[in-house]
């Protein structure tokens, strides 16, 4: 289903010219006309693994670049995800003034939270949950491994999934273990702002829009961590009747 999601998103990406592709330490930025998209840079791949057409990525159109999201080279897939998000820019449906971490806290207080990705806000929130299962591909102390998802994720009342799970093609496997009655959120800068996620059991989709391209570009080039980037606007879209 994750690949199907990506294939659908790629098919909807316009064949517009690509003006600029910037691959920063923490983020990838793609610009096409008056649209821009961003995604987190996934770096766990071989340092000798090349990106196809590196040095000439602007010769591809946006749809061709978006197709990189299907690549097993996850650095390449990060570029594709930024291109997908660039294609979605300007087509975001009605948005809500919601902060995903506040919704997670409100929905999950004294309950069981299952969260894929070690988000920085967890350190300040963790004591508010009855139980907090954090699943990480590269676990920190106290985290669970992604191999633990089948055992522990079905116990959760609230599930929060990093958007990079779509980039690294683990999203489908996560969906297979969602509890039947959990409240489900996809969040983070890689998250595609599309109602297609509602069809896959997601209640809230929370990502970002590039508002000031030059400001974002400067920060990306100077290795600013995603949560400190300037020039972005947080956007959430919500499944009807889910809040």
Domains in the chain: boundaries: 2-88, 100-209
Joined together, the tokens standing for residue 184 give 């489900």
Q: What is the full DSSP assignment across 18-49?
A: P-EEEE-SSEEEEEETTEEEEEEPP--S-TTP
Spans of the chain below 70 pLDDT:
1-3, 45, 93-94, 96-97, 241-243
Q: What does DSSP assign to residue 73?
A: S
pTM exceeds cut of 0.85 = yes
What is the pLDDT, as a whole number, of residue 216?
Answer: 98
What is the pLDDT, as a whole number, of residue 149?
Answer: 97
Select 100-209's CATH number: 3.40.50.11590, 3.30.465.10, 3.30.43.10, 3.30.1360.120. 3.40.50.11590
| Degrees to nearest 5, angle at CA 100 with 146 and 171 | 30
Residue 156 in contact with residue 114, Cβ under 8 Å?
A: yes
- CA end-to-end span of the chain, whole Å? 25
What is the pLDDT, as a whole number, of residue 14?
Answer: 97
| Degrees to nearest 5, angle at CA 189 with 239 and 70 | 90
If residue 117 lies in a helix (H) or strand (E), which one and from where to where?
none
For residues 234 and 211, give the distance between their C-alpha atoms in angstroms, rounded to a whole number.
10
For residues 75 and 33, give the distance between their C-alpha atoms in angstroms, rounded to a whole number.
24
Select 2-88's CATH number: 3.30.70.1280, 3.30.390.100, 3.40.50.1980, 3.50.50.60. 3.30.390.100
Question: What digits encode the pLDDT tens for the residues 130-151?
Answer: 999 999 988 989 899 999 999 9
What is the pLDDT, as a whole number, of residue 2?
Answer: 54
For residues 40 and 46, give the distance between their C-alpha atoms in angstroms, rounded to a whole number.
17
For residues 25 and 71, give the distance between their C-alpha atoms in angstroms, rounded to a whole number.
19
From the list 138, 165, 190, 231, the residue with the least C-alpha distance to 27 is: 190
Residue 189 in contact with residue 206, Cβ under 8 Å?
A: no
Q: What are the two backbone dihedrals, phi and then psi, of residue 92, each rounded to the nearest 5 degrees?
A: -70, 130
What is the pLDDT, as a whole number, of residue 242?
Answer: 67
For residues 202 and 109, give the distance between their C-alpha atoms in angstroms, rounded to a whole number.
19
Helical spans, DSSP H, in the chain: 2-11, 62-66, 74-88, 100-108, 122-125, 149-152, 164-167, 171-175, 213-221
From the list 202, 172, 208, the residue with the least C-alpha distance to 4 is: 172
Joined together, the tokens standing for residue 125 give 């929130």
């Amino acid at each position: 289903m994750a690949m199907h999601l990506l294939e659908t998103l790629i098919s909807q990406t316009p064949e517009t010219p690509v003006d600029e592709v910037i691959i920063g330490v923490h983020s990838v930025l793609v610009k096409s006309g008056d649209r821009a998209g961003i995604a987190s840079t996934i770096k766990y791949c071989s340092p000798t693994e090349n990106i196809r057409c590196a040095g000439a990525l602007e010769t591809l159109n946006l749809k061709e670049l978006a197709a990189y999201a299907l690549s097993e080279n996850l650095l390449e897939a990060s570029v594709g995800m930024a291109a997908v998000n660039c294609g979605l820019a300007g087509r975001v449906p009605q948005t809500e003034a919601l902060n995903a971490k506040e919704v997670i806290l409100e929905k999950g207080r004294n309950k069981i939270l299952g969260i894929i990705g070690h988000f920085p806000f967890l350190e300040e929130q963790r004591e508010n949950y009855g139980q907090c299962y954090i699943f990480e591909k590269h676990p920190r102390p106290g985290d669970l491994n992604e191999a633990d998802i089948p055992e522990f994720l079905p116990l959760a009342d609230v599930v929060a999934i990093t958007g990079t799970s779509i980039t690294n093609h683990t999203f489908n496997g996560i969906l297979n273990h969602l509890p039947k009655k959990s409240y489900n959120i996809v969040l983070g800068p890689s998250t595609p702002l599309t109602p297609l996620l509602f069809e896959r059991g997601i209640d809230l989709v929370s990502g970002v829009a590039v508002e000031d391209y030059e400001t974002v570009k400067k920060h990306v080039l100077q290795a600013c961590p995603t949560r400190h980037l300037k020039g972005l606007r947080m956007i959430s879209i919500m499944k009807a009747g889910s809040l």
